Structures are given as C-alpha cells and as structure tokens.
Structure 1
Amino acid sequence: MPLSGGNSTAERDTNGRVHWLVGVAEPLRGLAHKIRTLRGWRGRVVAFGAGALSVLAMAPFFIWAILFFTLPVLVWLIDGTVHLASADPAARPFKAKHLRSAGLTGWWFGAGYFLAGLFWIGEAFLVEAERFAWLMPFAVALMPAGLALFYGAATAAASLFWRPNLFRLLALALAFSAAEWLRGHILTGFPWNILGYALTWPLPLMQSAGIFGIYGLTFLALLIFAAPLVASADAAELRRPQAAMAGFLIALVPLSAAFVYGLVQLATPVPSPVEGVRLRLVQPSVPQRDKWRPEKQRDIFFDHLALSRQGPNGAEDNLVGITHVIWPEAAMPFLPLDTPAALQAIGQMLPDGTLLLAGALRADGPITPDAPRPRAFNSLIAFGSDGQPIAIYDKIHLVPFGEYLPLRPLLEGIGLQKLVGWRGGFSVGVSPRPLFEVPGLPPTGALICYEAIFPGAIVQSSRRPQVLINVTNDGWFGETTGPHQHFHQARVRAVEEGLPLIRVANNGITGVIDANGRVLARLNLNERGVIDTVLPGARPPPLYARFGDGLFALLWLAGAGLLWLVHRRA
C-alpha cells in the first residue's frame, strides 16, 4: 500500500506541474497568437519596435534581458508569415510569398535595431552643419535600411527550415550568425553592434569571447534569448510542459556555464606588467568643430605639448619617469613630417629616452601645384626624443565616405568629395597588418579608430603582438551612445586576443584595458587630462586568437547538420 500511495503522490505532483506550467504559459500563448496574426502595417510596427528596443542590450545600457522579450516577438512574427499559428505541420505549405514576408519581417526588425543603434552617425553631419546638415537625414535613414537587408536575408533563410518546434530557433540562430558574419566582411564590412555583444556584459560573460568570438556568441545569443518564452508559449499550445523546461534549459545551461567559466578566468593570476614601460595617455578633448580649422592647428598642437608635460594631478612634471607618450588619432591635423618646426617642438618636449606615439596625417610626396593630390595616409607615427620619426603605421581599414569616397568618379560629380577628410581621401596602408615596432615596447599591434571593431582582423602578422594600441577620435559623435559602443567593442577585442589594449581618444573614452577586458583606468567623454600607467601583460593566446572564426564555423556546421537531418525527417 505504501507503494500505491507513493504513486498517487507522484501523480498529483506531476499533474500539479502540468497545470502550473500550462497556467503560467497560457497568457504567453495568447500573446504569441496575437503577434502571429498581425498583418500589414501593424506587424511592421511591432517588428520595428522590437528591433529598436533590442539596442538596449548593447553599450552603454547592457539591459540584455530585453532580448528575452524582443527575440520571441520576432519568432512569433515569422511564425505568422509561414502559417505556424497552429502546431499542425500539415498547415505549413511553403510558398514564395512566405519567404518574402519573412524577409520583410526581418528587415523591419533590423531597420529598428540599426536606426536606434546608429542614430549618432547623424552627429557627424552637424559638426559643420552649414555644409553637411542636409545630408544627415539620408545617412541616418539609408545606412540602417542597408544594414537591415542582412537581417531580412537571415529571417528569409531561416523560414526555409521553419518547423512548429524549437528547431526553428536553431534555424534562426544559424541564419542570424551567418548574416552577422557577412555584415562584418561584405563591402569592407561594418560589424558594429553585432548581436553577440549582448553576451559580453558583465565581465565574466565577456570571457567566452576568447573561445567563440563575437560571431559564435551571436549564435548562442539567439538560442539563449529566444528559447524561454517561445518554448513556454509552445508548451501551453501543445499541452507539453516539458517543452517549457527545454526552453529554460537552453537558456540557463549555456549562460551558467559561460558565467562560471568567466569567474574561473578572472580568478587566474594576472600577468605581470611589462618591465621598464610607463605610458602617459593624453586626452586633449579638442572640440571637433575646431579640429580641422587651419587657423586652429598651431594652438591644438601646442596644447598637446603642454598637456603632455603635466601629470594626472595637473602639475607639470616634464615627463619624468615616462617612457612613451601617446596622443589620439589625428592629434596633429596637418603634415608633421613636412613641418620642421613641429618636429623640433616634439624633440624639445621629449626628454632623453622618452618617445611620442601620435596620430597624424602624412603624405608620400610634397603638395605642389603640379601634384596637388599626393597619396595621403591616416597614420600612427612614433617619434624619437630628437623629434624624428622612427616607426610608422598607416591605417588599413578606411571608413567609407569619411576617409575615402567609394565610386569616386560618380560621387565627386554631385559634390560628395567634401565628406572625406583629405584631398581626394586617404590611401590604404600596407596589408596584411604589420607589427608596429617601437623601441622600448613589446611587439605592438596598431589600430586606428574603428579598426578595433573587426573581430579576427586585428592581428594578421605571423608574429603575435603583445599589446594593442588603439588611437581614435570619436569627437564626431558627441555625447551619444556611439563612443560607448566603440569603447566596449575594443574591450571585447582584448579578450578575444588575450592582449592588453591601450586606447587613446581625442575626447573620450581613453582607457587602459587588460587582457581580460578589465578597465584599469579611464577618462570619460569630454574629460580633459592624462593617464599614467604601466603596460599590462599579455595572456597566452586564447582559443579564438589561435583559431579565429574556425570554432564558430565548426559550431555553425554542427548546427546546420542537425537542422538538415531534422528537416529531412519532417
């Protein structure tokens, strides 16, 4: 009899769990049904809004819990486009219009995501509003519209393998991670705010970037954030509580594993700082409107010199004990190598044994009436204590429409050559990326501006650098989310490569980042000052540094193989 009573208790517990799960999930079932049946402009507005809200998962907000709601909305909208309002597989005859509808759903989601995440690009057109303000609406609208095509392609591709079960989430994760990889490579690439960045905060979660890279984290993010609510709604619809449990496990297991792994990584001993190196990072906070005015160039240059002689407390110390001074991108908005007085002033500032690393412009020939357009470069130049250049890195990954003009013969005809920062635009430096060999520093990887956002592309030499130095000027984008997003992405590169990253910006954010992504020191937006710091040590190369996107490719292929098997058996 005790056995019989035990079975009754277990049965009651099971029934209770079923009723509880179905009861809790029932409102989700109703919500999912309403979203699936949205048509026309209502569905587009919801997709656009879900995409816009998803930006809250990025820097500087890091409210990644929002994706637990916005990604299920995207799934339910796609459900509706492929006639998955019911769980009956027979109700899903695939038609071309479903592919088109699914693609449009993804495009509207992407349009909201990129408009909310990249609106700050418009700030650049207000720096010289009298010349460029008229272009701002086009840039703010057209760039998100173009980038959203990748998300539209992703949802269209995923709909080809859509099924009324959790495997549709695998299809979405595969399609989105592939689309994000393509976004980072096609037409020079623009991997800004890749969805995987949602899994890089707080710091313990960021450590997984050293294994999977940001594209691998994107694959995981789509599964983790979409699964709980989608599975719960499915459970209520199918009266299968185990489906809800599966969804929560899909989220909980990898999140927990990543967090524990991160804690272990952060608990390992920190590499010792590089001996004999002490850096001074200079953030002058020059107003962007003044930066390129010829009449301001001399004042800007001498302001950099004066600030470099001051310690963090503002007292002049003449660089005693400092081995390397680092200025931001385009700190000298002229051609210092062709300006003997500038080289002399640099030599007078630097004591023996101290070097200056400065962002500057350089040309490969003199500017004359016969040669008004020599090749020009956006460079990082190392100057010895005599003021003479001893090492040069020329930027490789140029910003379209900012540093060079695509389709130049065509676009010059409508006056867009004024957008680029130099006569005719800058030229590309030597590729693959060479090491920046500076006396007194370990082998260095130099990165100028947004070169730091390209995962897997910042270390291309056969010799691994031991430090990354990123000089930038985010002053174009004011006090918006853009500089915060840029800074965070640079932190993730440090973790992927297992290298310290020294970041020096004109108006912020300047920072010292160790190989685990910790921010050891920083100067915030529009804060004028300097940071004196040792150089943190490098870690042994993590898996991503060794294999790049190879592990992501294996993960993707394994998922694609599983999805193909399920699709063929359905």
Structure 2
Amino acid sequence: MRGAWSLALLLAGFVQALALAWPFQTLALAGLGLHAGEPMPLLQWLALGVLVLAISHAPSWRRAAWRTWLFALAWLCGSFWWLFVSMNTYGGMAGPLAAAAVGLLAAFLALYYAAAGALFWRWRHATPLVQALSFAALWTLAEVARGTLLTGFPWGAIGYAHVDSMAALAPWVGVYGMGALAAALAAGMAAAWLQRGTAPRNWPQTGGLVSARSLSGGRLAWPLLLLLALWLPLLVWPAMGNWLAQRAPLWTSSTGSLPVVLLQGNVAQDRKFEPHVGIPFALQWYKEQTALALDRLDAAGQPGLVVLPETAIPLLPQEIDPLWWEAFLGRIERSQSAVMIGIPVGDWREGYTNSVLGWTPTLQQYRYDKYHLVPFGEFVPPFFQWFIDMMQIPLGAYRPGTLGQAPMEWAGQRFGPNICYEDLFGEELAAAFRIPGLTPTVLVNVSNIGWFGDTVAIDQHRQIARLRALELQRPMVRATNTGSTAGIDHLGRVLAEFPRLTRGALDLRVEGRTGLTPFARWAAHWGLWPLVGLAALVLALCWRRTSGAKP
C-alpha cells in the first residue's frame, strides 16, 4: 500500500504542476477546457485533494510528512524543470549535474510542505470544517515560507492555477489568499469524502446515511459547502471567473490611454553575449526598431512609449560606441515619445545592476535597478561559488536596487518597471503603492526567458503577470527577448501577444489606472504579515477546538 500511495502522490504532484499552465499542444481540447498555455484549476484542486486523502490515511506523522514531501517534490520539479535548460544548454553544466541541481532545489523547498503535512496529520479525524481551516492555514504558511525565506522562490504557487476561477478575489487577498481558499476546499471535501457514511465521535447518530449536518461537522461548515457549490462551475469553466471579475466593483479608475510599442528581439541565448554575433546584432536591430517604433508613434500624433526587453543590449553603457548612443538618443530627442530599455549599469570594479533606463524627448533620464535578484543567476549565495564555477553564465554578480522605487512619469502616466521574475513577488510590487499620489498607473515588465528555451516557463510567466495585474488592478506590459511579449489590462485579460520565438514589434494601446485595491493597501504597508498572522490565528483556534481530542 505504501508503494501505491507513493505512485499516486508523485502522479498527483505532477498533475498539479500541469495545472499551472497546460503544456501540451496536441492534447489541447477546448471542449474539455484544456487549452495549451492556460491554467487548469480543476486539475489543481483534484490533485491537492489526493494529497489530503494520503495524509489522512498515513499511520504516523512521519509518514504524513514523507507523503507530503513526495507530492511537493513532483509538483515543484514539474513546475520549474526548465531550470535544467538554463544550466545545461546555456550554462554548460553536465546533464546529470543540472538535473540533480533542479531535483535538490525542489527537494529542499518541499521540506516546507512536509512540515505542513506532518502538522496537519493531527487533525486527520477532525470535522471537515476544522480540516479545511487547518490545512489551508498550514499550506499558506508553507507557501509564504517558500516565497520569502532565503530570498524566496515562489514559482508555481497553486494560486496561479486560479487566475481565472478566482479572478474576483485577487484584488482582495492576492495569490496566497487564493491558494488558501483552494486548499481549504480541497481539504474540506476530502474530509467529507472520507467520513461519508460514518459517524465519528461527537457527531449525531442517524442510523444510516450521514445527515447533511453531520457530514459538514455542524452549522459552521455550511459556508464551506456553499463556497464549493458556487466555485465548482468556475473550476470546470474558469472563463466564468473572469466574467464575474469584469462585473465586480472596480477599485481603480482610468488615467487615460496611450500607445505602447514592445520590442522582441528573439536573440538566441547561446549567441546573445558573443562579441561578433549576438552583441552587434542587438545593437543594430534594437536601434533600427526603436527608430521605426518612434516613427509610427509620431505619425499617430500622440505621445507614447517604446519598451525594449531585459538586457536588450548586454553591455555596460560605457562599453557601447558613443556614436551608437548619439544616434539612439538623438532619435528619441527628435520624437514625441519616451523609451525604456533593459541594460546592465555600473562598472566591473564597483559592481553593476540589472537596470531599466528611460528617456523622454528632453533626454531626461530615468533609472530603475532590479531589487529582487535571482540566486545563482544574478548573485552567488554564500558557500556556492563552486556551483557558479561549473557553469558559463556571464553577468552573474549584480548589486540589488532598493524596494519601492519611484515610477517613471511620462504623458500623464507613471510607469513602474519590474525585471524578469520580480513580478512573482506581488507584495514587493505593492511597496511602490505606499504613497497614493505616486503609485504606478502602468506596470512594465522586461524579461529574458530565453534562458529557458521554448518551454512552459513562457506560459507560466504570462499567468504570473496576469495575476499581478489583477491584484493591483493595473495594466502590465511585457517586453521580452523570446516571449511572452504581451499587453495585459487591469482585469488580467491579455489584450495582445506577440508570437513567441519570433522577432518584431507589438503595437497596442494601454489604459492606465489609479486607485488602490485592498491587496495594494495592506501589502504595501505590511507585506505578507497579515496573511501569516491570520493563518497562525486559525491554527490556534483549530488547536483549541480539538485540544481535548485524541490525535
């Protein structure tokens, strides 16, 4: 039986990874709700339910921890397996070592969930309501720990599978709150399934089928059943969730619209840093395409914005020919639009930053420095220099910027940049919303997912950006090297998307927004501490309610 549970949990964990963004083109069946690149909330909910059943059947808390760890290992490996591509294909690390590195990262992060599973085992005989609340609280604490401790790596949090089905909740509770609700409903229904037809101690005896009252564990569980009844249609048809979100009251209002041009160079990652191939091409192509984009914006007669991706030019500014800068900045000066470009800034002696530079037609310069750096990619954690030495990745020792940097003001809008996976950290983006009059009206993400090839990482990152747009009710424009270059509105809808792994420009119109969502208000001032405090309070109440029961 142990082997059967292990196989079931490995499969369920992998299914939960698939639910974040369905990766299979050939199995994309619209009639069944399977669309390539889209989240599958029903699969996520069912997969987590299997985990709860496995914990409830565990003979000890140690076995519960082991089963939870197996599930999380498969889920996390399935979520970010594409890290192998960056280390092996582009980093030069041997295949077995790169695979082992991904596995070890997932194994370590899975320990947070193993601890949650071991603690939840205490409540395996509690009423469905208590199980739902305790599991949701423990799962949330594990998710927050994974997303914050040791720099944090929250990629693949289960809330992203519900970017559509729970779209209306995002401005209130954010991705972790959405994941908590999904966990509560999975645990509550798994408990109800296990306890069907039985009458545990302290439950009313009915002499046959269990009554609705006993199945729910008392009147207090009816909200849980009602939530599930309302949510089930959204699990099957997640687009309904977006439809509801569009009709819910908005917390933000329009600040007008402007045209935006997003450039996608599609420079091969293995050629990007070559001095005689990738670098000359990037210098020429981005200069020409920026000029063409400015021409189109000038012809439209309205100030706009041109955005180039992360490290579009993989050189420090002083290493670029002054004649190139003269032509590049001269074209901006002769236009009526602004330009933002991803580029490293600094020097080799004092260090450098992964930055976004921006210029208005008056050549007033704006600068944003990436705050949340990628471990092993942008900085070396203590005692791990040997690991970096095994790869051949340039520009691997950045300095961080500060949290909550001011946006770039232009054409009646305030553009708030974030770089690459910084958009995973909604609470950090919310830090720029502390002063209401200076909040971004448009979010701008510049990324280079070329490190991970043509993988599901592109689709997963799109869903992450959509959730940030929903949490803050701000549009998000994304300029990337290989995809997903896209415009997303304040309700998380993709307005337009440029084909991945192609080269060109995406022209769109973006409507800025002002105002604060509830999530923006509490996360801007307190980060994720309100969620942590609420989860701890729920656990304390559950403990008190069941403190007299035998484990």
TM-score, normalized by length of structure 1? 0.80
Distance in 1, Cα, partners of 2:168 & 2:123 = 32
Distance in 2, Cα, partners of 1:268 & 1:504 = 29
Q: Which moved more, 1:332-341 or 1:180-189?
A: 332-341
CA shift in 2, pair 1:173/1:272, >3 Å: closer
Match of 1:376 among 352, 373, 393: 352
Q: What amino acid sits opposite 1:80 in the alignment? A: H
Distance in 1, Cα, partners of 2:19 & 2:215 = 24
* CA displacement at 1:311 relative to structure 2: 6.0
Distance in 2, Cα, partners of 1:361 & 1:72 = 45
2:400 match: 428
Q: Is 1:71 aligned to residue 51 of structure 2?
A: no
Q: What per-residue deviation string (whole Å, max 9, x for no partner) do you get for residues 530-549 of structure 1?
A: 12222312153111111124
Q: What amino acid sits opposite 2:148 in the alignment? A: H
Aligned partners of 2:256 and 2:512 also within 8 Å? no
After TM superposition, list the pairs within 5 Å mapping 1:21-100 onto structure 2: 38-39=1-2, 41-59=3-21, 60-82=37-59, 98-100=60-62
SS in 2 for 1:170: helix
Distance in 2, Cα, partners of 1:196 & 1:344 = 47
Q: What amino acid sits opposite 2:105 in the alignment? A: M
2:246 match: 266
SS in 2 for 1:566: helix
CA shift in 2, pair 1:389/1:506, >3 Å: farther
CA shift in 2, pair 1:554/1:129, >3 Å: closer
Distance in 1, Cα, partners of 2:406 & 2:352 = 20
Q: What amino acid sits opposite 1:459 in the alignment? A: A
SS in 2 for 1:535: strand
Distance in 2, Cα, partners of 1:276 & 1:455 = 24
Match of 2:184 among 223, 237, 242: 223
CA shift in 2, pair 1:139/1:346, >3 Å: same
Distance in 2, Cα, partners of 1:248 & 1:460 = 36
CA shift in 2, pair 1:465/1:561, >3 Å: same
Distance in 2, Cα, partners of 1:149 & 1:347 = 51
1:332 match: 313
Distance in 1, Cα, partners of 2:387 & 2:488 = 43
* CA displacement at 1:255 relative to structure 2: 5.9
1:240 match: 210
* CA displacement at 1:256 relative to structure 2: 7.2
CA shift in 2, pair 1:356/1:179, >3 Å: same
Aligned partners of 1:278 and 1:532 also within 8 Å? yes
Aligned partners of 2:269 and 2:451 also within 8 Å? yes
Aligned partners of 1:435 and 1:446 also within 8 Å? no
Match of 2:69 among 78, 94, 107: 107
2:385 match: 412
Q: Which moved more, 1:130-139 or 1:217-226?
A: 130-139
SS in 2 for 1:236: coil
* CA displacement at 1:347 relative to structure 2: 2.2
CA shift in 2, pair 1:248/1:274, >3 Å: closer
1:124 match: 86
CA shift in 2, pair 1:453/1:419, >3 Å: farther
* CA displacement at 1:397 relative to structure 2: 0.4
Relative contact order, higher structure (CA 8 A, sep 6+): 2
Aligned partners of 1:68 and 1:226 also within 8 Å? no
When the two structures are aligned, how many residues end up with a matched partner? Answer: 500
Aligned partners of 1:326 and 1:504 also within 8 Å? yes
CA shift in 2, pair 1:200/1:352, >3 Å: closer
Aligned partners of 1:216 and 1:555 also within 8 Å? no
2:339 match: 356
CA shift in 2, pair 1:441/1:358, >3 Å: farther
TM-score, normalized by length of structure 2? 0.83
* CA displacement at 1:109 relative to structure 2: 0.6
CA shift in 2, pair 1:292/1:223, >3 Å: same
* CA displacement at 1:394 relative to structure 2: 0.8
1:95 match: none
Distance in 2, Cα, partners of 1:66 & 1:534 = 35
Distance in 1, Cα, partners of 2:72 & 2:135 = 14
CA shift in 2, pair 1:130/1:445, >3 Å: closer
2:26 match: none
Q: Is 1:187 aligned to residue 175 of structure 2?
A: no
SS in 2 for 1:435: coil
Greater Rg by CA: 1
* CA displacement at 1:265 relative to structure 2: 4.0
Aligned partners of 2:157 and 2:179 also within 8 Å? yes
2:531 match: 552
Q: What per-residue deviation string (whole Å, max 9, x for no partner) do you get for residues 32-63 of structure 1?
A: xxxxxx32x43322222211111232123422
Q: Is 1:304 aligned to residue 304 of structure 2?
A: no
After TM superposition, list the pairs within 5 Å mapping 1:384-403 onto structure 2: 384-385=360-361, 390-403=365-378
Gaps of 5+ in 1: 1-37, 83-97, 368-372
Q: Once the two structures are aligned, what percentage of the paired residues are identical?
A: 27
Match of 1:475 among 440, 444, 450: 450
* CA displacement at 1:139 relative to structure 2: 2.2
Q: Is 1:170 aligned to residue 133 of structure 2?
A: yes
SS in 2 for 1:46: helix
CA shift in 2, pair 1:269/1:102, >3 Å: closer
Aligned partners of 1:122 and 1:137 also within 8 Å? yes
CA shift in 2, pair 1:466/1:376, >3 Å: same
Q: Is 1:523 aligned to residue 498 of structure 2?
A: yes
Gaps of 5+ in 2: 22-36, 200-208, 217-221
Distance in 1, Cα, partners of 2:145 & 2:327 = 46
Q: Which moved more, 1:48-57 or 1:265-274?
A: 265-274
2:260 match: 279
Q: What amino acid sits opposite 1:509 in the alignment? A: S
CA shift in 2, pair 1:129/1:540, >3 Å: closer
SS in 2 for 1:333: coil
2:202 match: none
CA shift in 2, pair 1:537/1:116, >3 Å: same
Q: What per-residue deviation string (whole Å, max 9, x for no partner) do you get for residues 8-32 of structure 1?
A: xxxxxxxxxxxxxxxxxxxxxxxxx
* CA displacement at 1:477 relative to structure 2: 1.2
Aligned partners of 2:167 and 2:241 also within 8 Å? no
* CA displacement at 1:261 relative to structure 2: 8.2
CA shift in 2, pair 1:494/1:441, >3 Å: same
RMSD between aligned alpha carbons? 2.9
